[in-house]
Structure 1
Amino acid sequence: MKKYSVIIFLISILFISCTEQSKMPVSIGNINSVIVVVRDGVSKTQAAKTLDSILTQEIYGMPQSEQLFDVSYVTEGNLNDLLKKNRNIIYLIISDTVKKEGIFKSEDVFAAPQTILFIRSSNPDSAQKLIQKSEKVILQALTNTEFRRIYGIMTKSPAIELKKKINQNFGIDLQLINLFFEAKSTNDFMWLRLETNDYSQALIFMKEPFNAENQFNPAHIRSWIDNTLKLQIPGQFEGTYMKIDDSVIKVKVDRVIINDIERIVFSGLWGVEGDFMGGPFRSHTFVSKDKSSLITVYAYVYYPNEPKRDLMMDLEAILHSIKYN
């Protein structure tokens, strides 16, 4: 079997001056949307179907079925100047004239933030294998563009005082918009909320002394989170409280390294003991820089009977921005 190496070229668009940089148009497109550019006949290949299944796969840990990205297809001839300003664009190029196969990435070509992926292959079979092998690369590139969009908004209106307090109490820095307010706080706990008439987004910070390596394992972390939620996040009725709810789907556990921090990531649903509230949550748990504390940042959305993907994307961007101070 022919081996394919995934080639990622980061093509930076350089500008002569800061003034010229400011002239870059702002990218357009709905949140978590992708335009796939194809030539006639390519959209019917198995390679195109494989790409579509990757982009539209169901997000784990959501109460309703929601897909990762909304995908639109356009032929090369119909890709006009306006469409070229979309935030995420993928060119699926399958042609016997292709000499160098792989995935090539360009950023901020026609607008910013923007990612353009070129998937180049000489035939449909090799294209399909390349796409299957590169699923994580493709999704990470597109997700990072959405994160850049979110960070661009947050940096214009940062929650300066809250960021200082988080830095002081938990030893971390992160992106945070000033729409959040402090609902509850102690030296080792903080509950930040963003409330509208329709939905809630929240971040919960918790820490405990880190005394043994066996604390950094999913079983202990699950118990610790549940105990903290029961103690600190009461429901609207007496005797009710927030909890991790795996009665419908099991909590997914991943180990990842982001910003040079090893993390245990939970994805699943939260609920309220004794009530019918709930929604999606994500949590990142890691050891503090000085190894003295175990820290969890737990993010959740409450938006009953409505899509929650885009709201969770905001919170996941915050979680991914966490770094040691």
Structure 2
Amino acid sequence: MKKFGTLCFTIFLLVGISCGDSGPKQRFLPPSTGGINSLMVVMDTELWKGGIGDKVREHFAAPILGLPRAEPKFTITQIPPQVFKGATAYSRSVLFVEQDSVSAAHIKTNMYAKPQKIAVVTGETYNDLAGNLDSIAGMAIAAFKKVEIAEAQRRFTRSLTKETAFEDEFGISLKVPSLYTVGKHEDNFVWMDIQIPKGSMNILAYEMPWDSFATDSTFVQDIVKMRDSIGKKYIPGPYDGTYMITEKAFSPYVFPALVGGKKAAETRGTWEIEGYPMAGPFVTYIINDKENNRKMVLEGFAFAPNEEKRDYMFQLEAILKTVEFKSGP
């Protein structure tokens, strides 16, 4: 029989009140903790070592699309439920999985700290738990990513650049960390970058005509053509005649997105240098800015040979998603 304390803890997670409370109470919530893209998985160690743990890893440690080598969506730390208390419960992103007669899968907000998302999955059998994990995984990953993006933005907005190149050229604002500098500002093109160990992180902005992408059937090819033409014109390689292109071997991934309150296409893939062995990941947002009769293009790319690139690309994504559209270019 399940101990009352554990059952009470599960019910607390399910309904959001503690045992003995007569109703919700206003209480102080400490700031949440954890590294960016870290996920605390609270589940029995035996479950973690078995098929349910495999199911958790299948969803939450799956490789991120568009990176040159496999890196997981989240860095996972697993602890048993009895350890999830005190400061450990302040983790920002939490997945709680427990075998229980109650079958449930939902997401709670700011239960022990703020900001915080806790995905709760319970079930009596393997099939119950596996099915509930499958049903909640997409929503939980989206919720975790949203809170992680917000935390990344909170951290870098402590010190922002005073450069106004994006606003001057395109009528947009971006919250860019102060260490980024303008590397190139030409008609319809702005490039800011920052040096990192062994490489750089880069932000690009340019605009395309509203009718640049004629049909859905050629959308991906048109994106590649656009990126390659911009690379040839503005982004040289280390030697004459070399320049940035989209990796030839694999087509980029394209997803719908919402950026700056506007519909957009998110493109992820790998860039390379034509005629020279350099490469790295990129994320591009093609934003429908109908008010200004244009497609506003924002891109982040990283060069960090022999380094993990997930967190570099995540920060670039967080920066690009701070875009705000002013009155116009």
Normalised TM-score (structure 1): 0.84
Supply the RMSD in Å over aligned alpha carbons: 2.7
How far apart, in 2, do the equivalents of 1:9 and 1:235 lie?
57
299-308 or 216-225, which deviates more: 216-225
1:133 corresponding residue in structure 2: 135
Contact 2:105 / 2:133 at 8 angstroms: preserved in 1? no
How far apart, in 2, do the equivalents of 1:65 and 1:52 lie?
14
2:205 corresponding residue in structure 1: 205
Q: Which runs of 5+ in 2 are unaligned?
A: 1-13, 18-23
1:148 corresponding residue in structure 2: 150
Q: Which runs of 5+ in 1 are unaligned?
A: 1-7
Matches within 5 A, 1:246-257: 246-247=248-249, 249-257=250-258
Residue 181 and residue 79 in structure 1: after superposition, are their counterparts in 2 closer, same or farther (change >3 A)? Answer: same
Percent identity reads 23
Residue 10 and residue 200 in structure 1: after superposition, are their counterparts in 2 closer, same or farther (change >3 A)? Answer: farther
Residue 320 and residue 127 in structure 1: after superposition, are their counterparts in 2 closer, same or farther (change >3 A)? Answer: farther
120-129 or 305-314, which deviates more: 120-129
1:214 corresponding residue in structure 2: 214
Contact 1:47 / 1:125 at 8 angstroms: preserved in 2? no
Residue 311 and residue 150 in structure 1: after superposition, are their counterparts in 2 closer, same or farther (change >3 A)? Answer: same
Cα displacement (A) at 1:177: 1.4
Residue 175 and residue 128 in structure 1: after superposition, are their counterparts in 2 closer, same or farther (change >3 A)? Answer: farther
Aligned length: 305
How far apart, in 2, do the equivalents of 1:10 and 1:154 lie?
32
Normalised TM-score (structure 2): 0.83
Residue 41 and residue 305 in structure 1: after superposition, are their counterparts in 2 closer, same or farther (change >3 A)? Answer: closer
AA partner of residue 181 (structure 1): T
Contact 2:242 / 2:276 at 8 angstroms: preserved in 1? yes
1:35 corresponding residue in structure 2: 40
CA displacement, residues 51-79 of structure 1 (integer Å, 9 cap, x when unaligned) = 22111111111122211112121111122
How far apart, in 2, do the equivalents of 1:291 and 1:32 lie?
35
How far apart, in 2, do the equivalents of 1:229 and 1:136 lie?
34
| Partner of residue 157 from structure 1, selected from 159, 166, 185 | 159
Contact 1:60 / 1:267 at 8 angstroms: preserved in 2? yes
| Partner of residue 82 from structure 1, selected from 78, 83, 87 | 87
- The alignment status of 1:280 with 2:281, answered yes or no, reads yes
How far apart, in 2, do the equivalents of 1:10 and 1:297 lie?
40
Specify the SS of the correspondent of 2:86.
Answer: coil
Matches within 5 A, 1:1-325: 24-25=30-31, 27-39=32-44, 41-44=46-49, 46-96=51-101, 98=102, 101-107=104-110, 109-162=111-164, 165-211=165-211, 214=214, 217-247=219-249, 249-325=250-326
AA partner of residue 116 (structure 1): I
Moved over 6 A (4+): 8-11, 13-16
How far apart, in 1, do the equivalents of 2:188 and 2:231 lie?
13
CA displacement, residues 30-87 of structure 1 (integer Å, 9 cap, x when unaligned) = 3322111114643355333212211111111112221111212111112242322222
